[in-house]
Chains A and B, each alone.
Chain A
Amino acid sequence: MYRSHVLVCGGTGCTSSGSQQIMEALTAELEKKGLQNEISVVQTGCHGLCALGPIMIVYPDASFYSMVKVEDIPEIVEEHLLKGRVVTRLLYQETVTSSGVKALIDTDFYKKQHRIALRNCGVINPEVIEEYIGTGGYQALGTVLTEMAPDDVIQVLLDSGLRGRGGGGFPTGLKWKLARQNDADQKYVCCNADEGDPGAFMDRSVLEGDPHALIEAMIIAGYAIGATQGYVYVRAEYPIAVDRLNIAIEQAREFELLGKDIFGSGFDFDLDIRLGAGAFVCGEETALMTSIEGHRGEPRPRPPFPAQKGLFGKPTILNNVETYANIPQIILNGAEWFASMGTEKSKGTKVFALGGKINNTGLVEVPMGTTLRTVIDEIGGGIPNGKKFKAAQTGGPSGGCIPAEHFDIPIDYDNLIAIGSMMGSGGLIVMDEDDCMVDIAKFFLEFTVEESCGKCTPCRVGTKRMLEILEKVTKGNAVLEDLDKLEELCYYIKNNSLCGLGQTAPNPVLSTLRYFRDEYEAHIKEKKCPSGVCKALLSYHIDAGKCKGCTLCARVCPNDAISGSVKNPHVIDLDKCIKCGACMDKCKFGAIYKQ
């Protein structure tokens, strides 16, 4: 028994900011002080506040230390862990108030969050199955196998209103029901952990922080549809997640939660991991199953849908990690509990990965129907440097941009589609006045062009042509008719592509054309990039009135484009200038401007 637990985040974010070294230093320091039998060091999954890693929480008093450094460890051990004096200056400063320390759940970042899928992330040690059981883990599975018929399980999911968290938003209960109705000698349960949207990392976080929740839900799914084998398709680019999932599967086998006759119910189920090489198209369900079968990851036409003919030609269900992570909680707390959260057609919560121009980069889980304003301004802590919000990009390369005028729209599946974006897997990239929307659309198009598998022509050739038009726009070579061509091409690709990748690839362009057409037109008509991003349309100049002739700019210029003598205003030779912006960053007098 330990009197105190010190939780150190071992998620990918904190690992990259050095949490392993923190763990080692902490363990060594505790031994030095003879505290190793009183204080336990627990490696957990992600707490969500990735911008402030490495993160460390001391229980039972729940003190939240952020951006911990190895040299802080002796002080924290001596002062806090031994003598009980919290080292206030090292705490997450949001928790420090004039009257003392406030609880983490009362900070702006956590106050409005409601964690269901992430409930154990950052709380338990994901490599110890007993900790998961201690928080009520595998209880839902026990209940399902001993007290419920498969149809009852499906009914609970139908009643709960749970929809797929991977992007499409298809009702999970219905998917299971269809798979159950199809008789076959073998069926399969698959998990899509091939998280590919740039900026989204909630699935990785669940795998790293609470892998048993996924395993438990997949066994439940197997029982509900009548499958005895499951596969988790996860990208090899997630090494920590793969390790923890492997450990978790081994432990579940040891505890006979995977294998024969689980809970004495006569039900058998086993689970294996299949590693993907990181192709974006393998997140599409038919391509994913083709890849598990050992073929090149390419989609195939639907129907037949996976519920009829899926993996190895057998009825299969495929759900996303976050979807699965909700299921044990729905079984335990009931469909009504889950359906009480969210909006009319989108129930429960959704995890968002906040990125881009926002103070609290990280993972947040909020009830469906929370407004963008709450997520960005309150939970996310707003936009750095007092800049103005321009748009939020949701749904990655399949989604679109939400402009400021929709800042107060409740976020759910249907509202996002109505305004030309989509939920996607939950990436949320915030953009401010310095971001050029044409450039953003071009960025996502570059991604889809690269990731298109090439099987169907609209996607393979069409996206490439779209990218070429966008490049013309950003270089100032386009004419207004190009925008009409671009739009026509968008609809053609949407309607004629084989799979979701191509069908949604034009979305970033369509939504920016819809809300920011003026920016496109400025590039074409005035040959100007209003945000000052597109290099071809910019030029750097020196304001002779402000220039003191310090020569610094001339010295940092990598291409010798700046000339002038000491104490006299300098001049940029526009023919030589490569627009790197080094002079502007270095000028102490604000004399250099771009236009």
Chain B
Amino acid sequence: MESSERIRRFWNSLGQQRIALWSLTFILVVSLSGFLAPLLAPYSPGGFEEKRILEGPTRHHWMGTDQLGRDLFSRVLYGARVSITVGVGTALMALVIGTLYGLVSGYSGGVVDHFLMRVVDIFYGLPDLLIFILLSLVLGRNIAGVLIALGLVTWVRFARIVRGQVLQAKELIYVEGARAMGATRLRIVTRHILPNILGPILVTLTFSIPAAILAESTLSFMGLGINDPYNEWGTSWGTLAQDGWRAMRSYPHILFFPATSIFVTILAFNFLGSGLRDILDPKGNR
């Protein structure tokens, strides 16, 4: 009853954030068309057409063709699937690790908390792009490897935020009440603390997705990210942009479309994140 009221109010205030709502719509369209790429793509992403190499956008090839005569629009569609998978997957992985870590740290307090937070401090002091490159060397340059490597770099953000929220929530009267009534630790954390810190977690999640998409596409652009040319899931937007970068001077369209896809998607996630923050976490400014 009460939670459905809260959800209704959430949707109402989201409706007032026009840009955020448009961004959400855009993200849903991109994700959906990415995952339905096999049905929607007009051509096979690997289908060569020798006579149609490096054509500009036409009626048949909306985004033109690349060096091997492959339809760029189809490749961008399949690429959406890769980027969204990496972005959302990374963020979810970081969410699980970081939230558990933050909950334990914040709720335990004392020496445990102190020690766990020093570990987080060290992770925070690392140049994350570098660590990510090193990790992906070990884990493999495929979608799963890159996703795990990114997740292992991103989780500290969640750990810090969740821990801070837990420290605040721990002192609230209803938590003290639950403790006085003899609730177990697990119950206090899962039933009383976690539901009340979902807002900041959701906001962090929304901002982590574009950060992961950015990192992955940047590294793939430099040839250090996903390098898995025979993967049927699709080619990363970053790799497509790398192909385009090589031919930019003469055939800018091969760079333009993947680059715009990356940029607009990141922008949409950032707008959605700001909107959510305004609704859910009014005090957390930055």
Q: Do A and B truly interact? A: no
